[in-house]
Structure 1
Amino acid sequence: MQFSKSNFSEWFTDVLSEAGIMDIRYPVKGMPVYMPWGFAILRKIFSYLEGQLEDAGHEQALFPLLLTDNLLAKESHMLEGFSPEVFWVDAEDDGRKLAIRPTSETIMYTMYSLWVQSYKDLPLRIHQTVTCYRQETKATRPLIRGREFYWNEAHTVHATREDAEKQIAAGVDIYSKVYNMLGISFLPFVRPEFDKFPGAEYSIAFDTLLPDGKSLQIATVHYLGTNFSKPYAILYKNEKNERVPAYQTCYGISMRALAAVVAVHGDDSGLVLPSKSAPIQIIIIPFTKSPEIGEIEFKLKSFGYRCRVDDSGRRAGDKFYHWEAKGVPMRIEVGERELKGNSVKIAMRNGEKQVVKISELDKIGSLFEKYDKSLGEAHADFIEKNTYSAGSLSEIKKGGFVKFGWCGDDECAGKVKEQGVEIRGEIYGKKPVKLKCIACGKDGKEVYAVHPY
């Protein structure tokens, strides 16, 4: 089956189904089923993320799904926006109503208050990969917006603001590595005050562009300061034996990472997977029953590649289409002619083809490196071509990243929104650029706006 990416919305839905990513026919709104191939890709992405977190000193834990209403209400203004979206359980715990977590701060920080007692307990860095649940009121869309979302969240505790802000930089670096691995370009924005997480002193969000020019938020990093440690009594005894509130950060990546991979790299034949995220990196299509096929498979697996032989009864063309739709990065074709020449034919998912000697299969790592680099460069080029400056409201177009001056006033932000885009903020780590406000002409700073999902 061929897919036309010219109609991106329809293409995205079709590819999720035909490539075995998700089945949206489950009869509960916003809760599609992850099919084996899709979940395997997701787990490859998250395993890489979890490895990066643990290399950076985080430990993995698992916290409960349920919380009582009094815990949820403890600092409701910190979780503003979540309350109307909470799913409630038709059961009680010692007379308290039970809710399903819409987010995990309340659950985790209740325990952090018990675990953190002394400066010797810090820093504390914990992450978990779980599902959260919200009664999403906007239109749901598989992998982009749902009532159930799969994500990894990290929550850290520190003795000083300086240490916590170093952790913010580390979190941004970890997420940058994940998206670099996936060949996804993005811009990290410091969100304006009106758009930050309510419990944060400031929020950083990663935004990327999809083929239709709309922006997708694919990660968030929040500096919480003492906004949660004070009400949740996450206090520690310092070296002067004083009990003082700790400083906190939190950050998360969801299933939208998979949405970005599907949307950004896919083509009219289906998925195009970065090599490290592919459940099967190499598919072998045999045109002979020679035992050498098994030997080639064994050799590739011994080099550490995820490899499979498609010895099904399907026609060769059907096999090609099937594995192309699933996005397998490398196809190896082996027939009697190739074996006589002690070689194989290699076709990369991006169209690159060549013949390689069987004795040199240990060198195909360079082909994967070149392939992954090409995916990343293509999206970086797309981002560059779709980033522009606007000197007036009339110059703002829907789609892409648009740069202009903003004075910081909410009313001016509203005028920008009337043009069909929303202000996302300044780029994290970049020196502010002074510009006149696009709406009122007063002094301001350069910000970016997008047409969001």
Structure 2
Amino acid sequence: MELIREARPHSRRKLGENLMEWFHWLLREAEIYDIRYPVKGAFVWRPYGMKIRRNVEAVIRELHDSTGHQEVLFPVFIPYEFFSKESQHIRGFESEVFWVSKGGESGERLLLRPTSETAMMPMFKLWIQDHRDLPLAVYQIVSVFRAETKMTNPMIRVREISMFKEAHTAHADREDAERQVRLAVDVYKRIFDRMCVPYLISQRPEWDKFAGAVYTIAFDTILPDGRTLQIGTVHYLGTNFSKVFEVTYLKPDGGHDYVHTTSYGISERSIAAMLIVHGDDAGTTIPPALAPVQVVIIPIIYGEERKAVMEAALSIAERLKAAGIRAAVDEREDKTPGWKFYYWELKGVPLRVEIGRRDLEQRSVVIARRDTLEKYSAGFEELEDAVKKLLAEVEENLRRSAWDRLMSSVVKADGLEAARKALGEGKIVEVPWSGDNSCGLKMVELLRADALGTPLDAPADVGGADLRDLACLDKRASYWLRLSERY
């Protein structure tokens, strides 16, 4: 395999100027998702988008199944009497609930699930009898509904979250539940690593934790416009839900105790992040492991050579498929090769194989990378190995480039002006914080930013430095607090 054209730099202009406008354009033109459904915040997955989604869901299922979770499917309806039992939970979600206002002649008060803690706890009470039934770990991939009043954006802020993976677990004690929290964090790291999406892991501040949780851990990534997107959360719920639903178990000593529970969720936001993080003015690049089409073969045909070139293209596709590679031939006769290049670059196909009469004579093909636009010449005899090598290189480059962009966007600031300047430049800023909630909320107000929380993927404490809380200068800082503008 020989390099015949160097990489060309990609412009990221459109992404920075109006990211959501670019994202709408991508979803429409790449035939991923249709935003024209006539209900605010409800959208349609198109066939190509569903293929991407199913590949992501396969990774989610694989990693949950391999760590002892079992898949379930709960009804979409939750009785009001269940939902209203946990006081913090209902205060946190009641304004977002869709109510079923009428159902035949039934007078039941039902709601469409915004999340399933209050649906699962009554069933956990039936399923858990003694310590031998613990730990219990289940998950489902379903729709959840939230009456979003802010501006909606496809996949990112929606009323029907149609790819919501929620896991719920029950444990004998806090120690085992927090072991599950660490496992959940590791599972999410592995999912996002497969998607080549970089992330920061932070413990959300008290005022921004999940309603009903003891604490919340969140994954955030940065988008090209400098704003962050929450792509996953993990919650330790303690006994807050098990007490109100009376979910207990018989201990080995004959006594009873409440189970400790956790929950954790990710959604199609992760797919939005993947498409945007790897985007450019021409479209996106889908990581090879998740791409519906990993290699598209474009026949370059002029005149009488059509039969021989097309036969060669179809033969190449069959060879690649036999090698476990998802390959397709663009056989359309009414489109030029240049139009096809643009079309498949837009859709994010990692590699393009070009073959024409001259290539047939030389028994070689041209392979173009979507991520760098480099072109290579590869002989027929080395084709499968060359394609596999380049697919691996594309994946590694996507992952490395995305992580480099994220890490270069995180800065520390020990003064308000420095923090304001960094936020204005689209950075994630870490500032000294005492840990006091009132000081943290004041910091958010002073900097007009959102708090991501204290770092869990880097030292959270300020060490031996004599730093002061930026919002409360009379208090010594004990932690770093991450701040950004957030979607």
Same-fold call, TM cutoff 0.5: yes
Larger deviation: 400-409 or 321-330? 400-409
Partner residue in 1 for 2:7: none
Describe how 1:49-448 pairs up with structure 2 within 5 A.
49-92=60-103, 95-149=107-161, 150-287=163-300, 288-290=306-308, 291-313=311-333, 314-350=335-371, 351-363=373-385, 364-396=387-419, 397-398=423-424, 399-418=426-445, 419-428=447-456, 430-434=458-462, 435-441=467-473, 442-444=475-477, 445-448=479-482
TM-score normalised by the chain length of structure 2: 0.89
The verdict on how the C-alpha distance between 1:147 and 1:293 changes in structure 2, with shifts beyond 3 A counting, is: same
Equivalent residue pairs, number: 452
User: Shift in Å at residue 231 of structure 1?
Assistant: 1.4
Give the Cα separation in 1 of the matches to 2:39 and 2:307: 47
Give the deviation of 1:163 after TM superposition: 1.5
Structure 1: stretches of 5+ with no match in the other structure: none
With normalisation by structure 1, the TM-score equals 0.96
Post-superposition shift, 1:198?
A: 2.2
Residues 315-343 of structure 1: CA deviation (Å, up to 9, x unaligned): 11111111111001111111222222222
Among 5, 30, 39, the alignment partner of 2:15 is 5
Shift in Å, 1:96: 2.0
Structure 2: unaligned runs, 5 residues or longer: 1-10, 301-305
The CA distance in 2 between the partners of 1:259 and 1:31, in whole Å, is 15
Are 1:282 and 1:328, in contact at CA under 8 Å, matched by a contact in 2? yes
1:385, 1:431 → 2: CA distance? 17
1:94 positional shift: 5.5
Could you say if the C-alpha distance between residues 335 and 429 of structure 1 is closer, same or farther in structure 2, counting changes exceeding 3 Å? closer
Is the contact between residue 298 and residue 353 of structure 2 (CA under 8 Å) also seen in structure 1?
yes
Q: What one-letter code is carried by the residue in structure 1 that aligns with 2:14? A: S
**Higher mean C-alpha displacement, 15-24 vs 390-399:** 390-399
Say which is worse superposed, 83-92 or 21-30, in terms of deviation: 83-92
Give the deviation of 1:146 after TM superposition: 0.8
- Aligned-CA RMSD value: 1.7
Q: How far off its partner does 1:69 sit?
A: 1.3
1:4, CA displacement in angstroms?
A: 3.0
- Corresponding letter in the other structure for 2:54: R
Give the alignment partner of residue 17 of structure 1, picking from 18, 28, 40.
28
Shift in Å, 1:429: 5.4
Indicate if the aligned counterparts of 2:86 and 2:240 stay in contact, CA closer than 8 A.
Answer: no
Amino acid at match of 2:267: S
Q: Secondary structure at the match of 2:187?
A: helix
Percent same amino acid at aligned positions?
Answer: 41
Cα 1:358–1:221 change in 2 (3 A) is same
Contact kept, 8 Å, 1:30 with 1:141, in 2: the verdict is yes
Larger RCO, structures 1/2 (Cα 8 Å, 6+ apart): 2
Distance in 1, matches of 2:272 and 2:77, equals 28
Give the whole-Å Cα distance in 2 for the aligned partners of 1:394 and 1:6: 24
